[in-house]
Amino acid sequence: MKKYVSRATMWLGIIALLSGVALLLGIILAFVNTSMTSIVMIALGGMFGILFLNCFLAEKSRALIIDTEKIIFARGAEKNGKMFFQKTTVKLCDINSVDTKLHKGDGIISKDTSFHTINLKDGTKVTVTLYAYGKEAENEILETIKRKKV
């Protein structure tokens, strides 16, 4: 079993940790001497800590899991043109083919993104994007899917 997490997960965790350190430092400074700095550190550390901890946990739950017989896609997979906001499970033996379509980005706001359509033997089409996991992981995931399908 292989688990892929988003590249942003690590950065969100680091920022949440730094916010927690700022909160703790603000509390310590408040006990030593009450100054405006400690109040600001408590307020900002608390607010940003809550925000980034929630973002970290949400991003961590979006893991893509490849098992020996199935692949579990994170929320946001499209099945027959309809978006599903729950995890989508596809058995590797049910995969007929994988098509990749490149959508050009404008280079300023969005980059080039590949949409991968997995055609199942029963006619269902599951469309996913894998850009959040990084280019190397995206290629590794696609090679695994293509290699393990029967």
Tally of CA atoms within 13 A in the half-sphere of 109 that contains its CB:
0
Residue 71 to residue 1: CA distance in whole angstroms: 9
Which pLDDT score, from 0 to 100, does residue 68 have? 84
- Kindly list the averaged pLDDT for each block of 10 residues, start to end, along the chain of length 150: 88 95 92 85 94 93 86 83 83 87 81 86 88 87 76
Give the global pTM: 0.71
Write the DSSP symbol of residue 94: G
Which pLDDT score, from 0 to 100, does residue 42 have? 92
Residue 60 to residue 21: CA distance in whole angstroms: 21
Rg (CA), the chain: 21
Among 2, 14, 95, CA closest to 59: 14
What DSSP assignment string belongs to 113-136? EEEEEEEETTS-EEEEE-GGG-HH
Write out pLDDT tens, residues 24-68: 999 998 888 877 888 899 999 999 999 999 999 988 888 888 888
Tally of CA atoms within 13 A in the half-sphere of 46 that contains its CB:
8
Alpha helix (H) residue ranges in 2-134: 8-32, 36-60
Among 95, 96, 71, 86, CA closest to 4: 71
